[in-house]
Structure 1
């Protein structure tokens, strides 16, 4: 429990810092009191989550393989494969980012974005999307630090980005009056700061070397066996979000603003739950590599207890301060109803999302990555589409209820399967 708590706790602070950048951007833009701008952030964020999902998937593969090699006392091989795979990660992120920027307007049209909100969202993506390699490299550096057990520096690397954003956002948006353009430039600069901090922190661990051309193929083949299913797994959540955003757009800019507020609050409020995915994985990999299956089982149990504690605490805080949240972000009309329902009641459903995430971590690190792919896509399809489609007949509130019900079913099935996998080790 102590190992899980330390790794997840420091990872949560780091992840909270990463997503706090988006939350700060959204908060400052909301202070301009322009529904088109806040909706634009919501539409751009829905597409941006797809990019982030690919980056997270590659990072999971990198962390799982290097963690297992380190657990098996093969540090030199871990360094060689990690350095080579960073080249693959950079190239993949660059292609995805440039493609997103080129197709931004068309993709936003599919989501239901129109008018000024669509134009502003496309402008934001044209600036931010091509810089996806910065996000990918920052995540990779943090994963390598966790794989060698340096949770403190992994946390510090991501904190650098949040601090930079906290300083730059108000300057870019309010002092220079650059509005959404300022938010985009601030995002690029904060991500660049993370990269610099990451390289400095990794120097003492000798986890990076000059990439060897002959190592790229074996690194891609070995890490890709975990990374590709992990990418497919992680893509399911943002695809489900895109589907939900499309339906929510039918109810106007206020509804999109309310949904965007939830989407920005959740990663910060549940940073511990999300951090378990990256933090618990190396612990499971190391113990599997060391031949200690009973500790893998203990790790899963500790992660579930931390998930329950995190959700209960967050639920209590959001329920008490839901009116403050609505006032801070200037949400009105149906958007305020959406945020109020989430903070007071539906936030409890994130316990089952936590069950799904922890189970997926077990699958990815214990040799069953296709299980996590199946459950995540089950959530994005069977657990989202029919429930949201039916819920949409009752308005945006019905959409939220539909989402929550689907997650309860899929999350419960996933964690029961994870325990069965561990029993077979």
Structure 2
């Protein structure tokens, strides 16, 4: 493929201020994430203009299933970013490119299968969530259009993860910003102007994801992170990334699975409760974009310094991230507390939906400091060789930390469901961050646990010919 010569990746996080690295990476990542989730928020905003509660509820039902799909994509991108970051930190640039290229193909194939099966099973999945009538029909239409395009968002997330792994945070941010801008322009035209409703939102989503995927691929290629995969290495490289990606997928699936139970509980209180929950679930990613961005942004900093053997910088990254989480939640709480009436009016919320939004802005928003702690701990586990810990804590929060509390909260109405959803996060977020500090304290140069956290590159299966093929790809990238 033509174009400018590829830039060699560098270990940018092994020197300089840790706090600055965390702020820049999370800040640019937050803008990118905010842009992506703002698209969903705008979809809800324009749909609410149509004045049909069934359409608003349909956004909530389809959003739960979409979150499951995206959770898989995030897990795969965490795996490819973590392993690539470690290799770059260890100075193994050629192996980093090869692993990224091999796993990228597998990533797209897996997401295509998931997307097709989701579109096929959409009515059944929505029925399990409690969707009925026009809300179920509209949600199924949305999923049938959007789901087959899942490889597009996987490609965008994967390339974004690779760009963050080399410290190209601003480029990663710009890629997602452009996609969001296109969607923001298309949404009102398709949803309101042409009267396509949810179909318009789905078409806009597919189009913006396609732009993000294309631009992300071009940028990753330009920075020497992708090339033609080496066929004989695909299986071995996939196993290497899979050691992080599979636990990360299981970890990320926990949150939407917990949301499935919460949505089902809300459905018992009517469409207004589902609509209120859907509004909150779309405000949260935008309001806490910085906290969410820490999961993907802190990982490359930790993995590069682990690869370089600079364990004191790994510890400093964990501490700085937690302070930033606390500050971000406090600031967001203050803003939403003061503007809650405006939020209710903007989304035309009434009755139960308005009550749930007020409850969130006044009280339950505070629980996100513990959710942020869990996110930071997960990033440490995934990048320091303990991905199963993140799986354990996330599934613990999604099951033991959600189901019993929500079930008890149902006795007190939809507000009780919301409070119950938050309470479990306090317990599991606190335990996760204490465990993360324990993991970091046990890292010592030369010990077995630390060595096991380092990436082990399988030897070429084709001898010298395989290495010659890789070298040629490197020079032509």
What aligned pairs does 1:1-80 form with structure 2 within 5 A after superposition?
A: 1-80=19-98
Partner of 1:267: 285
Cα distance, 1:137 vs structure 2: 0.3
Matched, 1:210 2:228: yes
Give the unaligned 5+ runs of structure 1.
none
Cα distance, 1:202 vs structure 2: 2.2
Cα distance, 1:203 vs structure 2: 3.3
* Helix, strand or coil at the partner of 1:291: coil
Cα distance, 1:200 vs structure 2: 2.7
Cα distance, 1:215 vs structure 2: 1.8
What aligned pairs does 1:384-423 form with structure 2 within 5 A after superposition?
A: 384-423=402-441
Quick check: 1:160–1:197 contact (8 Å CA) kept in 2? no
Quick check: 2:406–2:417 contact (8 Å CA) kept in 1? yes
Quick check: 2:40–2:282 contact (8 Å CA) kept in 1? yes
Cα distance, 1:370 vs structure 2: 0.6
Quick check: 2:326–2:369 contact (8 Å CA) kept in 1? yes
Taking the aligned partners of 1:175 and 1:267, their CA distance within structure 2 comes to 27
Structure-2-length-normalised TM-score: 0.88
Taking the aligned partners of 1:203 and 1:247, their CA distance within structure 2 comes to 46
Larger radius of gyration: 2
What aligned pairs does 1:156-195 form with structure 2 within 5 A after superposition?
A: 156-195=174-213
Taking the aligned partners of 1:204 and 1:373, their CA distance within structure 2 comes to 34
Taking the aligned partners of 2:218 and 2:374, their CA distance within structure 1 comes to 34
Taking the aligned partners of 2:189 and 2:411, their CA distance within structure 1 comes to 43
Quick check: 2:155–2:217 contact (8 Å CA) kept in 1? no
Taking the aligned partners of 1:15 and 1:47, their CA distance within structure 2 comes to 19
* Helix, strand or coil at the partner of 2:91: coil
Superposed CA offset, 1:164-206 (max 9, x none):
1111001101221111100000000011111122123223311
Of Structure 1 and Structure 2, the greater helix share is in 1
Matched, 1:258 2:261: no
* Helix, strand or coil at the partner of 1:113: coil
Taking the aligned partners of 2:422 and 2:205, their CA distance within structure 1 comes to 31
Taking the aligned partners of 1:49 and 1:199, their CA distance within structure 2 comes to 23
Taking the aligned partners of 2:262 and 2:234, their CA distance within structure 1 comes to 38
Aligned residues: 425
Q: 1:372 aligns with which of 390, 408, 414?
A: 390
Taking the aligned partners of 2:51 and 2:230, their CA distance within structure 1 comes to 52
Higher deviation after alignment, 205-214 or 349-358: 205-214
Taking the aligned partners of 1:366 and 1:21, their CA distance within structure 2 comes to 33
Structure 1 runs of 4+ with >3 Å offset? none
Q: 1:92 aligns with which of 110, 116, 124?
A: 110
Quick check: 2:29–2:169 contact (8 Å CA) kept in 1? yes
Taking the aligned partners of 1:109 and 1:103, their CA distance within structure 2 comes to 10
Q: 1:292 aligns with which of 304, 310, 313?
A: 310
* Helix, strand or coil at the partner of 1:251: coil
Quick check: 2:28–2:169 contact (8 Å CA) kept in 1? yes
Quick check: 1:42–1:256 contact (8 Å CA) kept in 2? yes
Taking the aligned partners of 1:275 and 1:221, their CA distance within structure 2 comes to 26
Higher deviation after alignment, 148-157 or 208-217: 208-217
Partner of 1:340: 358
Superposed CA offset, 1:367-414 (max 9, x none):
111100000000001000000000011100000111111111110010
* Helix, strand or coil at the partner of 2:29: helix
Partner of 2:154: 136
What aligned pairs does 1:216-365 form with structure 2 within 5 A after superposition?
A: 216-365=234-383
Taking the aligned partners of 1:146 and 1:215, their CA distance within structure 2 comes to 24
Taking the aligned partners of 2:116 and 2:211, their CA distance within structure 1 comes to 21
Taking the aligned partners of 1:179 and 1:339, their CA distance within structure 2 comes to 24
Taking the aligned partners of 2:232 and 2:46, their CA distance within structure 1 comes to 47
Taking the aligned partners of 1:320 and 1:162, their CA distance within structure 2 comes to 27
Quick check: 1:21–1:161 contact (8 Å CA) kept in 2? no
Taking the aligned partners of 2:260 and 2:346, their CA distance within structure 1 comes to 25
Quick check: 2:156–2:217 contact (8 Å CA) kept in 1? no
Q: CA RMSD in A?
A: 0.7
Higher deviation after alignment, 381-390 or 189-198: 189-198
Give the unaligned 5+ runs of structure 2.
1-18, 444-477
Taking the aligned partners of 1:140 and 1:202, their CA distance within structure 2 comes to 9
Cα distance, 1:212 vs structure 2: 1.9
